[in-house]
A and B are shown apart, each in its own frame.
Chain A
Amino acid sequence: MDLILNQFINGLQRGSIYALIALGYTMVYGVLRLINFAHGEVFMIGAFAAYFAALMAGGGLVVALVAAMCACGVLGLLMEVGVYRPLRSRPRLTALIAAIGLSILLSNLVQALQFDFRSASGEEMHFSGASYTPFPADLLAANAHYRLVPGREVYVTRIQGLNLGVSVALMAGLWLLVRRTALGRAMRACADNQESLSLMGVSVNRVIAVTFGIGAALAGAAGVLSALTYPRIDATMGLMAGLKAFVAAVLGGIGSIPGAVAGGFIMGLAEVAAAGALPSSPVDYTPLADGVAFALLILVLLVRPQGIFGEAESQKV
């Protein structure tokens, strides 16, 4: 029982990261009907931005988080303006292929980078994207265990608490933004009908660009939170995390914000449950968990393609 509760907390923590990434997928899909395949790469770059913010600027968790979110937000804006905007009037698959190109470009760019730098504490350091980079999690947040239930072996670590707290705060902030501000209203209108929105005198381009930026910033925050828990970051970490978060978005109903959150948590819990229940592979359980994610995806696509919270789209002829 205690084991199950501990695993449940692990699942929530993994799920909160998937949920943050899935929000970006779902927001972009909502306004553009585009799967931003490079979104997982944004997540990866968030982790690396926090790495450099922590080592080169010597900032704490808040600085690292803000730096990652800003860097990723700008990256998201650049992707939208540079690649997706010119392709918006073209067939949808063209943008999807360009997104795959962006994903290859970004992950391999980080892999190819090698340089020396001086850290804030005056240390000479070498960065190589080709291998795993140890993330300085202890610089950002001291870890500790807390007993959750008196008398039971149920623990929550400080990082898990931070992780859940920050992600829930970000989700709440997003919810307020989308529901309570003029910008959020414009975003919802943009998902609904772009033509009418532009007739109301709102710049559709600007709304889409801001949506991209916000989604990317959330992915950047997820990158930092994930790196805190699994402090080995590398250039390929975005691929699988991005795909699983996409599965989460589809599971919840792509285009729906509560759906992405729910899908993310379901995904995290399902993965932990699968790792606990199934026999592990000779190497480790990650490939199996990946298989579970994709099996879940195909099941959802076949049984309820619109997801839990989504509405079925009928095709107009």
Chain B
Amino acid sequence: MSALLNGLRGLWQFWPIAIALGLMLAPVRSRKWPWVIVGSTLVLTPLALSLGWITLYAARMEALIFITAILAVSLNLINGLTGLFSIGHAGFAIVGGYAAGILTTFVFQLGPETRLPLAIPAFVVSLLLGGLAAAAFGFLVGLPTLRLRGDYLAIATLGFGEIICVVLRFITFRRPVGEQVFEVGGPRGIQDIPAMPGLPIPGTEVAMPVLASFVYSLVALALIVWAIRNLSFSSHGRACAAIREDEVAAEILGVDTVFYKVGAFTIGAFFAGVGGALLAHWSNMLHPSMGGFVRSIEYLIIVYIGGVGSISGSLLAAALLLICGETLKDVLRDRDAWRMVLYGGILIAVMLWRPRGLYGDREFPWLMPRGRSTDGPA
């Protein structure tokens, strides 16, 4: 019982996210509303942290929520908008994570002592290159497998995700530290990925890595949601939705299905790679198992509980499921498996009784283009 109370007390720590969710759900259609949401979150959390209203841990979890939302929204572009049932999304994320992690750790050798004017651009470049590596991989995977449909495509993407994990288990790096040369990578993964570079404000040495990861993740999420939203409501997005509804009909109507399928896969993989790069620097480690099926399933659960095809649903479900998981973690202590039992049960229940999920077929008002009802893209 006291564990439950502790969990609920932990829930209170998430009030900045609750405010952001409230602003997102508000029936405001102003074009400036996204600025209000992002701006208020960007100000509120550091403010609350400096006043001691929320713990450092809660701020760290907020960053994780944003990163998970990036991965869910990018999976939604592939699964929801284009209707390609991919269950190897964590595979793309880990390609981005490894690419960016190798760049920051071994090439740029970022660390607390790196001078700032160098560190921030180097980190941003690593993020982008991580995304590009994942995109290249998505393109290579997509080109042959997208001939497959439905459940076969699902299994093929799963297979690719698992193959990545296997290959990563065999890749090792040599790292000289002083006189000695250490071997990192392989089945143990890389354990010393640097934290995201922040501003050297005196007195914030402890909080700065967390704040930095918070800001990078939030800005990346905002940019990615903006990009995917604009893509969804463009003619390209309508072409993708046409493929989802009926591929043969779309082809007859002149939609270049190969172009759009591979394109959606590649763009989704790019954003997943950026998300994976953020995740690697958030957790300061990389492990081959981070690309495995179990991780992919977590993103899949978020997309389908939120409502497949809806950006808003993915954002909502990412926040709600992670906060719910955090609360349960306190309640269940070491019995984390019950959390997954619950998620599995929710997934079945959603499929049985509410297949469009929490927010399916709809979008937040501020995500809609002018002059449209809130019925969702296409």
Contact = CB atoms under 8 A, between A and B. Distances in A.
Interface in A98-121: 98, 100-106, 108-109, 111-112, 114
Contacts of A148: none
B315 interface: no
A81 interface: no
Interface in B234-281: 248
Nearest to B166: A291
Interface in A42-64: none
A102 B350 CA distance: 12
Contacts of A35: 151, 154-155
Interface residues of A, number: 49
Given A287-B165, A291-B167, A301-B152, A83 B348 contact: yes
A112 B169 contact: no
B150 A92 contact: yes
B233 interface: no
- Say what secondary structure dominates the interface of chain A: helix
B163 A294 contact: yes
Interface string A266-297: 00000000000000011100011011001101
Contacts of A106: 344
B190 to A, nearest CB: 15
A105 B169 contact: no
B160 interface: yes
Interface residues of B, number: 45
Interface in A8-65: 34-35
B355 interface: yes
Contacts of B352: 83, 86-87, 98
Nearest to A316: B248
A105 B348 contact: yes
A239 B294 CA distance: 10
Given A297-B155, A298-B145, A301-B145, A287 B169 contact: yes
A108 B341 contact: yes
Contacts of A302: 144-145, 147
Interface stretch (B93-101, B198-206, B211-219, B332-340): B332-340
A305 B152 contact: yes
Contact of B347 (A86, A95, A98, A250): A98
Interface string B165-180: 1110110000000000
Given A294-B162, A301-B145, A101 B351 contact: yes
A284 to B, nearest CB: 9
A156 B348 CA distance: 44
Given A282-B187, A298-B156, A305-B148, A97 B345 contact: no
A96 interface: yes
A180 B147 CA distance: 38
Interface string B281-324: 00000000000010001001100100000000000000000000
B148 A301 contact: yes
A317 B160 contact: no
Contacts of B87: 100
B248 A317 contact: yes
B344 A101 contact: yes
Contact of A104 (B144, B163, B186, B340): B340
A112 B335 contact: yes
A108 B328 CA distance: 15
A315 B162 contact: no
A240 B52 CA distance: 46
A105 B156 CA distance: 23
Closest 5 CB pairs of A and B: A105-B344, A101-B347, A104-B344, A291-B166, A294-B159
21 contacts: A35-B155, A83-B352, A87-B352, A92-B151, A98-B347, A98-B351, A101-B344, A102-B348, A104-B341, A104-B344, A105-B345, A108-B340, A112-B335, A290-B166, A291-B166, A295-B159, A298-B145, A298-B156, A301-B155, A302-B144, A302-B147
Interface of B: 85, 87, 144-145, 147-148, 150-152, 154-156, 158-160, 162-163, 165-167, 169-170, 186-187, 248, 293, 297, 300-301, 304, 334-335, 337-338, 340-341, 343-348, 351-352, 355
Interface of A: 34-35, 83, 86-87, 90, 92-98, 100-106, 108-109, 111-112, 114, 129-130, 235, 239, 243, 246-247, 250, 281-283, 287-288, 290-291, 294-295, 297-298, 301-302, 305, 315, 317
